[in-house]
Amino acid sequence: MGFSLLGVTVGFLKQNPEQKFTAREIAAWIFETYPDECRQKQNRSKAKVTPLDTDAALLQQIAAEIGSRRPRLQAMNPKIKTTEARPRKFYYTDSSDSDEIERTESSATASAADPNAAIIKEHDLYSILSEFLWSELAIYSRRIDEKRSRKSRSAGGNKWLYPDLVGMEDLSQDWHREIKDCVQQYADKKNKLWSFEVKILINSSNVREAFFQTVSNSSWANFGYLVANEIEGADTSKELRMLAGLHGIGFIKLDSENSSESQIMIPAKERTEIDWNAANRLAEENKDFLDYIKTVRQFYQTGEVHETDWDAKAQED
């Protein structure tokens, strides 16, 4: 049987189940394992614009072919899946999408009791998100802890009510004092309020639930975002973009190792008005959210931001 780039890629991923590899990493393994076949490919190439006259060019070409043939690769073996954020990673798994969600959440729960565990937990993502929001978007953020909510409602009464993080964007930061004073009575013109729902993993099993949870608990804000450490599957990305187009919720892919590498994959659509009735419900039920509203009110009144009131700035101090 002749050498098949897709065939050996499938074989490599099956030999390393649950491990995730970029197309470049797979290409490097193929180059090392099948040197003769790779040289034959190099010698057959008639490319003029980007000739395969170096090992680096050959590796880049193999990686590009693996990436571009992803649909064929997954058609050959549906157990091969990919992450969607760049750089895209390929992996082989026997688990269903719902199994992956359950395993991820179970691992995070188990690691919470073990300080030496390396598995990322949702709680770990909050500070990383705060850092990204401040450094990249100049948004002051604050954690909303659902444990600080009233217990007056029946079980499930507050489900999907609170976002994980809230934020405030100071539009007047660089304004002249006279301009700030002029718009004192138009507070909504000098800031925007943001809401964020955080997940460890989004795939086809939980994408709609996570999205509509974000819709529910972000309905009061100018901008609502679903945030995830990892997104898996092309269908998941398509579903997110379709839902975002209908409901205006954005999506942030958070890099847990380097917050500056995080990216807004889908920008949220701005709601021009704050839903103060919805905000009042949250403020009545949760002390963290009430404190957030108090801080926003102080900004409305004074035009000044007290940095220690916000998570990201407090971390820097």
DSSP per residue, 76-87: H-TTEEEB-SSS
List pLDDT tens digits, range 229-276.
Answer: 999 888 899 999 999 999 999 999 999 888 888 999 999 999 988 898
What are the structural domain ranges in the chain? 5-94, 122-316
CA separation, residue 105 to residues 119, 159, 201 (Å)? 10, 18, 9
List pLDDT tens digits, range 148-198.
Answer: 777 655 555 566 788 999 999 988 777 777 766 666 655 556 789 999 999
Question: Is 216:161 a contact under the CB 8 Å cutoff?
Answer: yes
Q: Distance between CA atoms of 129 and 256, rounded to whole angstroms?
A: 9
- CATH class (in words) of the domain with range 5-94: mainly alpha
Average pLDDT over residues 57-66: 89
Torsion of CA 35, 38, 67, 231, to 10 degrees: 0
Give the pairing type, strands 80-82 and 250-253. Answer: unpaired
Model confidence band, residue 314 (pLDDT cutoffs 50, 70, 90): very low
pLDDT more than 90, % of the chain? 39
Which tokens belong to 112? 């919470």
Which tokens belong to 256? 């847990």
pTM here is 0.72
Model confidence band, residue 21 (pLDDT cutoffs 50, 70, 90): very high
